[in-house]
Structure 1
Amino acid sequence: MGRANRGRRSRRCGTSWWLERLEDRIVPAIITVTSAADDGSGGITLREAIEAANTGTTVDGAVGTSGADTIQFAPVLAGQTITLGGTQLSISSALTINGLGASQLTISGNNTSRIFEVTSGNTVTISGLTLTNGYAATSIFSADGGAILSAGTLTISNSTISRNLAVGLGGGGGIFNTGLLTISNSTISENLAGYGGGIFNSNTLAISNSTISGNSASGDGGGIGNYCTSGDSLTLTINNSIISENSALDGNGGGILNEVGAGIARMTLSNSTISGNSTISGNGGGISNVIFDLELEGFIFGGDLTLTLNNSTISGNSAGGLPLSNGYNGGGISNSIQGSIGFLTLTLNNSTISGNSADGDGGGIINSIFGGDLTLTLNNSTISGNSAGHDGGGIRNFSEHAPPSGFLTLTLNNSTISGNSAGHDGGGISNFIIYGGYDLTLTLNNSTISGNSAVRNGGGICNDGYITASLRSTIVANNDAVGTGDDLYGTFRAEYSLIEQRAGATIRETVARSNRYGVDPLLGPLTDNGGPTETHALLPGSPAINRGFNGTPRSFDQRGLGFVRAVERTDIGAFEYQKKGSYVVPDLDNPTRRQVIVVGSPLNDTISVAVVSPTLNVTFNGKVQKFLIANIVGIVIQGNDGDDTITLTSLPVGVGGILYGGRGDDVLTGSKGNDILLGGDGDDRLLGIAGNDVLIGGEGSDSLTGGDGDDLLIGGVTLYDNIQSALLAIRTEWASALPKSTYAIRVQNLRQGLNGLPPLDPNTVFDGYYDELTADTTAGTGGLELLFADENDLLIGVVDGEQKVLVQ
């Protein structure tokens, strides 16, 4: 929509101007290291360059300033190792160190000293280096930070930190952080410490596009140890990263430990994998979350920890393994409130917990409380193939302590529990509360519990003790128990659910005759049926089809956007049977209004939509279906498999479309309105045409062209691709009135998640999977575009003079 209005600068009257003299300005120095030595024997060494920058003086030819200097390395040093002579390099000023590349330049502590210390109050950037053989110890006590000890603001990028050691009970074999630490495009591997084998963190840590692997702790936190105590606050953000093959030998948290007492911790993992981590004598093979009480000035305080997993996988982790042990718990995740107060909240969105094992309880997840309030919520997630030597192959919830009191709440929405096994009770889920002072609530909505097994009772779910368990629109079938209760054991409330085997359970119907008993739900195997997680499909003729709760249906099934609920009536379980064709369904926000839903076939489809007043005509592979325009507020088209061509030729005024290509190489063309186009898998071509559109390429090598209007183009995937409400909120903000005058405000609102909007930032926008290279093309023509891309994306078709924000 034309060029940005630059305008004129207005004159200001009565303003007092201060001008800095040129000779008073501080121009930071660029210092070039020319020698790999550490003894000052010739050339400029790294130690001399750092000293010059710290002091703002000249040291043996290295000229520093009082500004934020930069250290670089002469090309002649490529392939060499700078070996320290027995003492660390201390950084006490703002400084940038740009190496030649992690494969080209190494700094070694020579197994005699730490490599870097960053003191408090300083901002330091390190890139393009390998740091190895760092050694933190004193003659008497343990020491922290084998490679780096940081209390400042430290950014590490494109680097490798490997084979460093913090001796004894020291923390952070690779890095010990008490400041602000940001790591990107880096590897932290094979480091060793007492706590936090790879990283010890007690403040703020952000990791993106990185790998934390093969690190070990003799105590807690094999990969990362996060500690928040004494009223402190802690923030952890992990995005598009891998935490793998780390181990905690005699403590908790093989991959990650989060320990909070009298502090507040907020943690988010997005688009990441926690795999192959282990504890030998501790809980939480993948992740361990621990809340404990702390006495401060005569008062008892509990911790407050919130952990959210988005589009992430916890797989192949293990807890325990010592012979003759009493069993360790939580192969994937262990959540524990060990004090009388405290709050622990774990939320899984579009995530998978699979193939984890514990020789005690909770192969996938264990939740245990002494007191406090523990809440676990699963949305559109799958718990599969986990095993426990004792109870709770998939999930174990319990407390065996005498009161004070406590609250343990587990909620599953649109989720699947499948193929888990327990050596004792509860193949899928085990709930056990021995004392009445605790409140354990289990709620399952539109979920599927299938293919789980237990040696004793409750192949699907076992309830034992003071428990409230409710099932709504949930399938419990095809589970097995050697003892009692193949599917269910204990007392349950249920409505609009399908329970294949009732034996062993007392079921109280909250809606009379709404449940189905003794029938096979006709489920397909657990597999990729679309969406971010595996599901059990309902096969044709399933008795679960159109038998679910229809009061307040969810927008989509477990697979997310494009897999609509309530085509006629909702189905039971996590999967909604998709009948190809076009339908009109009530709008979830206002049932008096309607949405048109079009579901494609597994083959190559051609779908177009056009207004032919008074109807909206949908042409599906040559066949036309007509819908009265009155009260239509939106249209959603799901291409499914195949190479689909979907075109919005025209829509009613004020109506925007959502097009989802699904698998295959698709061509999606929007209307003149404000549309949302999602490519999905495959190499897709997205064309916004006109209006203020949101284009999301998805996986593969995609071409995105915004067309006229102000468009938001994202080369890869976002956290919100399967959440219609979030996408609609983003579109509403982006397409708001007076687009030119509010452009900067809209960008800020979306980038920062202001006014309750879903934020578009490095934690929510991903360009393909971690190990996948894409070659997306995003083109903005004639408008104000917000473009999300990285080094693998090519931006073309930019009209000269347009106002654009490029996020890389």
Structure 2
Amino acid sequence: MNAMPRTARLLPLAAALAAAGIAQATPLSAPMPAAWKPGDGRGVAALFAALTARSIARAPISGHLAATLIVTSCADDGSGGTLRSVVSTAGEGDTVDASALTCGAIALTGGAIPVYPDDLTLVGPGAKALAVDGAGADRVFVHYGYGTLGLQDITLRNGSAVVAGYRVTGGACVISNGYVRLDHSTVSGCLAAGEGAYGGAITARGVRLYTSTLSGNTALGSHPNAFTAAYGGGAMAYRGEVFLYASTVNGNSATHAATDTHGSYCTGGGIFSDLGGYAYRSTLSGNYSFGTGGGLATHAGFGISDSTIAGNTARYKTGGGVFARVFDSMRINNSTIAGNTAGISGAGIYFMGVANSLALQSSIVANDTVAGANADIATMGAFTVAGSNNLVTAGAGNVILPGDTLRSDPRLWPLANNGGPTQTMGLLAGSPALGAGSNPNHYSNDQRGPGFPRTTGGLTDIGAFQGAVAPVPATPVPALSGMLAALLAAFVGASAWRVLRRRMASGIFVNQRTKMEQG
């Protein structure tokens, strides 16, 4: 009897995706009905449709007590002590400890590493000290469990999930039936490409980042002869929340191939969450969506506190910083949303449909640019924003802001390293935001954390940053002009397409296609 393919246990994931109402790309041979809209859930089970039920996965070890298993080799030949071998022997709740390795990188040569336990934690020596590298040939991890795959003090990079034909894909570094948690870790350089690409780096029921980074990942709708889709360039949570704590989501993209002439639906350049979530002391910057939600796209309520969303782009549609397709409440406290761009409206925040409520408290939404009007906050219909102590330079005409909202230039420094684990936008001397804010959550510190008080001299500043004078920024991230955004769109699509062509020429693409067809 032939061995079951290693990708054959993710049918529950496909079912969950279908239930989540995530749009699937439409083949050219099946025209879109007039009533079609993103999120109608047609056929998303095609993602991993060839996969069979998890019941054939390795049986759990009866009475297993959680243990710590040591990785002693940086090879990937399956021999004893290698990461692949140790993970294959792990049981429920085990910790795989690779913290003693000094090699710098584990280059995977045997494809993605399967993870069968519901709960497993992998510990490395530090994100800068050890990377597990997919070498652009396959995913890094496939988590068949329904619990949490924890990744601590490690980097995952160069994962690939590329499929051919009218097929969808996702999770180029990690794909999970359950949840993925990053602690002091980095996931970068991952590419998911297909007619529909759902999650450039991570696709999971829920995603949690603690002092971690998602950078330079891409979800690419790559079919040249079909309407394509791309969700969550950095990560996609398909039936759970995304939680960000003191983390960075930077330089990710949800886009389509430069050769695509049939249209696309792209959303969530940095993050896409089906059930909302929360960002605290985190920065989403420099992310790109060809369509909506350059930094963040959510289909449910989302909370944002002491965070910065800056320099993101929604090239042709709405929500350069945040795109919210919700009928739920959102609350934004002590945050800065600035320097984002959009093609139509709501370059800072855009609501598709009217949320039950938006509470904006002691936050800056400013200097967001769009081709037309309605730069900072826009909705599809008349809407009243609750809250106080805000600075919003340009709300849409149908958006009613709190009466005490300031409208002048906040005088922000560009995004820079100003202390703490994430980049922030400091305030210039003379900024109207100085001393004009509030501290509704009674936080001790601003976004930067310990050593940076939230309130000084009895006064709180508006936005994520507290302080009258910011240091000169070392790494400015200006807002993208329309022309620069257009050039970026062309570059991202063309670059990703060149990657695909190189892989086709080297045989990697063919090998992946064969693997997927077998699975």
Alignment TM-score, normalising by the size of structure 1: 0.43
Is 1:486 aligned to 2:400, yes or no?
Answer: no
Is 1:576 aligned to 2:466, yes or no?
Answer: yes
Is 1:287 aligned to 2:187, yes or no?
Answer: no
Query: Which residues in structure 2 correspond to 1:746-757 (within 5 Å)?
Result: none
- Out of 209, 226, 238, which is 1:309 matched to? 209
1:354 aligned partner:
250
- Out of 356, 359, 364, which is 2:270 matched to? 364
Distance 2:319 2:461 in 1: 26
Contact 1:216-1:223 at 8 Å conserved across structures: no
2:311 aligned partner:
419
1:211 aligned partner:
131
Query: Which residues in structure 2 correspond to 1:234-633 (within 5 Å)?
Result: 234-250=147-163, 251-260=169-178, 267-281=180-194, 282-290=197-205, 305=206, 307-324=207-224, 325-337=227-239, 344-359=240-255, 360-368=266-274, 374-398=275-299, 408-423=300-315, 424-433=317-326, 439-467=327-355, 468-490=357-379, 491=383, 492-509=385-402, 513-517=403-407, 519-550=408-439, 552-567=441-456, 568-577=458-467
Deviation at 1:388, TM superposition (A): 0.5
Contact 1:243-1:255 at 8 Å conserved across structures: yes
Contact 1:456-1:481 at 8 Å conserved across structures: yes
Contact 1:452-1:460 at 8 Å conserved across structures: yes
Distance 1:188 1:204 in 2: 22
Q: Pick closer, same or farther for the CA change 1:276–1:149 going to 2, 3 Å.
A: farther
Amino acid at match of 1:313: T
Distance 1:480 1:163 in 2: 52
Distance 2:254 2:59 in 1: 34
SS in 1 for 2:324: strand
Distance 1:247 1:285 in 2: 9
Deviation at 1:552, TM superposition (A): 4.8
Q: Pick closer, same or farther for the CA change 1:189–1:440 going to 2, 3 Å.
A: farther
Distance 1:201 1:161 in 2: 21
Contact 1:205-1:235 at 8 Å conserved across structures: yes
Distance 1:215 1:223 in 2: 9
Q: Pick closer, same or farther for the CA change 1:223–1:160 going to 2, 3 Å.
A: same
Deviation at 1:570, TM superposition (A): 0.7
Contact 2:319-2:346 at 8 Å conserved across structures: yes
Contact 1:391-1:422 at 8 Å conserved across structures: yes
Q: Per-residue CA shift, 1:267-306, capped at 9, x if unaligned?
A: 532111111111112311121123xxxxxxxxxxxxxx5x
Q: Per-residue CA shift, 1:473-528, capped at 9, x if unaligned?
A: 0001110111341111123334110001123441242xxx42112x1000001000
Distance 1:550 1:309 in 2: 24
Amino acid at match of 1:366: F
Amino acid at match of 2:199: G
Q: Pick closer, same or farther for the CA change 1:312–1:494 going to 2, 3 Å.
A: same
Q: Pick closer, same or farther for the CA change 1:215–1:183 going to 2, 3 Å.
A: farther
1:34 aligned partner:
none
Deviation at 1:328, TM superposition (A): 1.4
> Which protein has the bigger helix share?
2
Q: Pick closer, same or farther for the CA change 1:469–1:177 going to 2, 3 Å.
A: farther
Amino acid at match of 2:344: R
Contact 2:95-2:121 at 8 Å conserved across structures: yes
Q: Per-residue CA shift, 1:318-343, capped at 9, x if unaligned?
A: 11141435121100111112xxxxxx
Deviation at 1:228, TM superposition (A): 2.8
1:182 aligned partner:
96
Distance 1:191 1:173 in 2: 13
> Which protein has the bigger strand share?
1
| Larger Rg, first or second structure (1 or 2) | 1
Distance 2:290 2:445 in 1: 36
The percent identity for this pair of structures is 32
Contact 1:494-1:507 at 8 Å conserved across structures: no
Q: Pick closer, same or farther for the CA change 1:191–1:507 going to 2, 3 Å.
A: farther
1:660 aligned partner:
none
Query: Which residues in structure 2 correspond to 1:162-173 (within 5 Å)?
Result: 162=76
Distance 1:559 1:249 in 2: 38
* Ranges in structure 1 where 5+ consecutive residues have no aligned partner: 1-113, 115-140, 166-171, 291-304, 338-343, 369-373, 399-407, 434-438, 580-600, 603-808
Deviation at 1:188, TM superposition (A): 4.0
Contact 1:488-1:505 at 8 Å conserved across structures: no
Distance 1:214 1:174 in 2: 18
Distance 1:326 1:483 in 2: 27
SS in 2 for 1:483: coil
Amino acid at match of 2:304: L
Distance 2:273 2:89 in 1: 29
Contact 2:232-2:272 at 8 Å conserved across structures: yes
Contact 2:222-2:228 at 8 Å conserved across structures: no
Q: Pick closer, same or farther for the CA change 1:551–1:155 going to 2, 3 Å.
A: closer
User: How many residue pairs were aligned?
Assistant: 373
Deviation at 1:181, TM superposition (A): 5.2
Amino acid at match of 1:389: F
Contact 1:445-1:474 at 8 Å conserved across structures: yes
Distance 1:311 1:495 in 2: 30
Q: Pick closer, same or farther for the CA change 1:173–1:514 going to 2, 3 Å.
A: farther
Deviation at 1:350, TM superposition (A): 0.7
